[in-house]
Amino acid sequence: MRPSLQANLLPRLIATIGFIGYSPLAPGTLGSLAAALVFLLFPSYLSAWFWMAGLALLFIVAVWSAQQMADAAAQRAESGKVDPQEVVIDEAMGMAVTLAFLPLSLQTIGIGFLFFRILDIIKPFPARRSEKLSGGWGIVMDDVIAGIYANVGLRIILSFWPSIWS
């Protein structure tokens, strides 16, 4: 039995970040950019508790919605497609990890966006391997790992160029 479109609407809306993932041009980059733009709306400093709660909630929602999309793709006989291209909530998760526990400014968000996109494309160890995890886990974890690398890289840059913090 095929699930109805309405039954899939919420996970589809979340996983595609309001249908941004259906863009024919660079949906992953647009998903990352959407997340970066949202971070521009946040205050420059967020508490560690906010980051931990926000990351945990976003991770749970990202894995769940990505899993729903992967299951729907498998039902449409696209079972060989591990990471449906329209799923971009993982990019938002990666951007959140990239910027986690850092003061937010236009500069840090911009550099973080560039670092994350480069590392998400390159997929340094073990990001590429994590894509083999099943369903939503594999879809999201490679971006979490790229985000960790981007966060470390951003911290290194910021240690040499502290004026970016403001």
- Residue 31 forms part of a structural domain: yes
Task: State both tokens at 120.
Answer: 């998400």
CA 10 vs CA 21, 30, 161: distances in Å: 14, 20, 42
- Residue 66 forms part of a structural domain: yes
- Residue 136 forms part of a structural domain: yes
Sign of torsion, CA 42 45 50 52? Answer: positive
Q: 108, 158 in Cβ contact below 8 A?
A: yes
Q: Which domain holds residue 32?
A: 11-165
pTM: 0.89
pLDDT of amino acid 71: 87
Alpha-carbon span 123 to 117, nearest angstrom: 10
CA 89 vs CA 16, 45, 144, 153: distances in Å: 6, 23, 11, 22
With both helix axes pointing from N to C terminus, report the angle between 27-40 and 89-99 in degrees, rounded to the nearest 10: 50
Alpha-carbon span 15 to 58, nearest angstrom: 11
Please list, in sequence order, all residues whose beta carbon lies within 8 angstroms of the beta carbon of residue 59, skipping any fewer than 6 positions away: 93, 140, 144
- Residue 5 forms part of a structural domain: no
- Residue 2 forms part of a structural domain: no
- Residue 44 forms part of a structural domain: yes
The total domain count for the chain is 1
Mean pLDDT by 10 residues, the chain (166 residues): 60 94 92 95 92 97 94 68 83 97 93 96 88 85 96 93 72
pLDDT of amino acid 70: 87
154 alpha-carbon distance from chain centroid:
17
Percent of the chain that is helix, strand, coil (3-state, to 5): 70, 0, 30
- Residue 59 forms part of a structural domain: yes
pLDDT of amino acid 82: 62
Alpha-carbon span 96 to 113, nearest angstrom: 10
**Residue 152 belongs to what H/E stretch?**
helix 135-160
pLDDT of amino acid 3: 47
